[in-house]
Amino acid sequence: MAEVKLHGTWPSPFSYRVIWALKLKGIPYEYVEEDLSNKSPLLLHYNPVHKKIPVLVHGGKPICESMIILEYIDETWPEKPLLPSDPFERATARFWIKFIEDKGPAVFMIFRAKSDEEQENAKKQSLEMLRTVEEWGFRGGDGRERKFFGGDEIGMTDLAFGWIAHWIGVIEEVVNVKLLDANEFPKVYAWTERFKDAAVIRDNLPDRNLMAAAFRRRREQLLQST
């Protein structure tokens, strides 16, 4: 098999999307940690357009953007598929992936906000996103509730949403806001617990304390740059 390398950075949820997919598929790979304050010549070579992680390099060819990488992985190694085979179910999965790609950044805007007004607006958008997922995200085509977005097993949609299960708590702690309340969003909360309880996820999560410390440092830098 052609060599597989992943360029990422350890606190990034987008790097972990790819790590989880590779682990679920059982694909051996080499991980290359990038310092985003001093980007390596290789990262700039492989992703000259956006100059961002993650970048998957397969046989010397780079693939950029986390969800595009996941689709590439699923198509290149079709065993243990991450997307459903049924066209309707596959379209539904892509709908929710698009949803979290569009609406999810509001949570990170809470972290980046430099004023109370910005933070409150981002919080409002984040809660609306969670309400939508709570009401509609876990319903199958037959109307029954599901353990995961696609059914009984973790799939690509779960990987797209996966940062909610671990990163959102760190953002809540660092910024001192509450978003994912178990009473207000019981379905989403239960999903986060099931997701983190899966061995392939549980064994491949960044240390929460180290994340909180890194996020605090970054938060202070953002506020000082006002």
pLDDT of residue 190: 97
Contacts of 146 (CB under 8 A, 6+ apart): 138, 139, 140, 152
Domains, the chain, in order of start with CATH, read 4-76 (3.40.30.10), 87-224 (1.20.1050.10)
Quote the mean pLDDT of the chain. Answer: 96
What distance in Å separates the CA atoms of residue 127 and residue 180, rounded to the nearest whole number? Answer: 8
Q: What is the DSSP string of 89-113?
A: HHHHHHHHHHHHHHHTHHHHHHHH-
DSSP-derived letter for residue 148 is: B
What is the side-by-side strand order in the sheet with 55-58?
Answer: 30-33, 4-8, 55-58, 61-64
Q: What are phi and psi of 63, to 5 degrees?
A: -125, 130
What distance lies between CA 142 and its chain's CA centroid? 27
Q: What is the pLDDT of residues 150-195, one digit of tens each?
A: 999 999 999 999 999 999 999 999 999 999 999 999 999 999 999 9
